[in-house]
């Protein structure tokens, strides 16, 4: 009898945990869907390139444009910085079963960047890559100061497994029109 009561309590608590986890999953998914909806459209973007001390070493203006491929799940996009002769194609999408939001970007050099983070989060990390010195490194992108008509993004890099993150760039996105 005692064992049966313990099993019943354990099953009840397990069910409660699943209910809380399911609610958290739903909230995280809703937040990421809203992020895609917010990104939809045309953006004027100022990119400030930062030195290792975080001071602005250069700046360039550009544009980003996002449109639905699959509503509330997949955006396609294009980024251009004319002064630097840069353009890239972008896919921004949800991986619901993996509980991830992901953005991939490829430019004229053919280098595919994959930036992944948890659903509901504003931070994504790139896949590992090799620096010119041969060290394993990653990029980290953080979105912040989000409003209906704007947001900011910070890119940082690490080549010590994430013990330290160095500044890379700061972008300010303002909705066109």
Give which of 35, 57, 44 is closest to 166, Cα–Cα: 57
Which are the contacts of 14, defined by CB distance < 8 A and separation ≥ 6? none
pLDDT band at 16 (very low <50, low <70, confident <90, very high): low
In this predicted structure, the answer to whether residue 23 has a pLDDT above a threshold of 90 is no
Look up residue 20 and give its two tokens.
Answer: 């809380």
DSSP class of residue 54?
S
Looking up tokens 């699943």, which residue turns up?
Answer: 18
User: Alpha-carbon distance 125 to 90, whole Å?
Assistant: 16
Q: What is the pLDDT of residue 26?
A: 87
Instruction: Give pTM, 2 decimals.
Output: 0.83
pLDDT band at 177 (very low <50, low <70, confident <90, very high): confident
pLDDT digits (tens, 9 = 90+) for 24-66: 788 999 999 999 999 999 999 999 999 999 999 999 999 999 9
pLDDT digits (tens, 9 = 90+) for 104-154: 999 999 999 999 999 999 999 999 999 999 999 999 999 999 998 999 999
In this predicted structure, the answer to whether residue 15 has a pLDDT above a threshold of 70 is no
Q: Which domains does the chain have, with CATH numbers?
A: 2-175 (2.40.128.20)
Give the SS3 label for residue 173: strand
pLDDT band at 92 (very low <50, low <70, confident <90, very high): very high
CB 129 within 8 A of CB 16: no
Look up residue 53 and give its two tokens.
Answer: 């001390």
Least confident range of 3-7, 8-12, 75-79, 101-105: 8-12
C-alpha torsion sign, points 20, 101, 144, 167: positive
Beta strands in the chain (DSSP E): 41-50, 56-70, 74-81, 86-95, 100-107, 112-118, 123-126, 129-130, 136-147, 150-158, 166-175
- Look at 2 and 150; give whichever has higher pLDDT: 150
Percentage of the residues of the chain whose pLDDT score is greater than 70: 90
Q: What is the pLDDT of residue 18?
A: 47
């Amino acid at each position: 009898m005692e064992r049966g009561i313990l099993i019943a309590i354990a099953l009840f608590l397990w069910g409660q945990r699943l209910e809380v986890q399911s609610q958290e999953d739903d909230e995280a998914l809703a937040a990421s869907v809203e992020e895609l909806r917010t990104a939809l459209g045309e953006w004027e973007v100022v990119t400030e390139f930062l030195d290792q001390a975080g001071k602005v070493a250069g700046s360039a203006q550009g544009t980003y444009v996002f449109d639905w491929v699959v509503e509330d799940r997949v955006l396609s996009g294009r980024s251009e910085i004319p002064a630097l002769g840069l353009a890239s194609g972008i896919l921004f999408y949800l991986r619901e079963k993996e509980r991830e939001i992901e953005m991939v970007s490829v430019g004229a050099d053919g280098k595919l960047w994959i930036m992944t983070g948890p659903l509901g989060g504003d931070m994504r990390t790139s896949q590992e890559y090799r620096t010119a010195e041969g060290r394993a490194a990653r990029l980290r992108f953080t979105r912040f100061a989000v409003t209906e008509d704007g947001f900011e993004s910070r890119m940082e890099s690490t080549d010590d497994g994430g013990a330290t993150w160095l500044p890379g760039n700061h972008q300010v996105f303002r909705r066109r029109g």
